[in-house]
């Protein structure tokens, strides 16, 4: 089976750990390729390659200022991931509530035995 290109959608683009690290780094504000490379311990060509993928799906925007290219996160482009993860929220909250109830019951039983 052929692999899906990383530039088809945001899910494929963020599937690679280095690209997620770039998104984390850009979460605090604009940065140049050089700054990102230094911060993440990656080579500039590697950072540029990953930023190209993220730009292709619209997750990252670039602003040219003279010789510098400033990259920034485009948060709304991550909405499909947010929406997908959110579908699991009710299930996990229900499970965590049941776990809380069980732990409270076990704690109560422990107190009675003491």
Per-residue pLDDT of the chain (114 residues; tens, 9 = 90+): 556 667 788 999 999 999 999 999 999 999 999 999 999 999 999 999 999 999 999 999 999 999 999 999 999 999 999 999 998 998 999 999 999 999 999 998 888 887
Residues 54 and 60: beta-carbon distance below 8 Å: yes
State which H helix or E strand residue 105 sits in. Answer: helix 89-113
Report pLDDT for 48.
96
CATH class of 10-75: mainly alpha
d(CA 36, CA 21): 10
**Tokens linked to 74:** 């485009």
Classify the phi-psi angles of 75: left when phi > 0, otherwise alpha if psi is within -120 to 50, otherwise beta: alpha
**Tokens linked to 108:** 């109560």
All structural domains of the chain with their residue ranges: 10-75, 79-113
Report pLDDT for 3.
60
Q: What would the pLDDT profile of 55-79 be if each residue is shown by its tens digit?
A: 999 999 999 999 999 999 999 999 9
């Amino acid at each position: 089976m052929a692999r899906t290109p990383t530039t088809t959608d945001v899910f494929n683009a963020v599937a690679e750990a280095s690209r997620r690290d770039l998104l984390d780094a850009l979460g605090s504000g604009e940065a140049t390729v050089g700054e990102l490379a230094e911060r993440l311990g990656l080579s500039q060509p590697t950072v540029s390659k990953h930023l190209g993928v993220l730009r292709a799906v619209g997750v990252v925007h670039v602003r040219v200022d003279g010789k510098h290219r400033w990259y920034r996160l485009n948060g709304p482009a991550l909405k499909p991931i947010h929406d997908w993860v959110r579908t699991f929220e009710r299930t996990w909250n229900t499970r965590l509530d049941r776990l809380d109830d069980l732990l409270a019951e076990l704690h109560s039983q422990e107190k009675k035995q003491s």
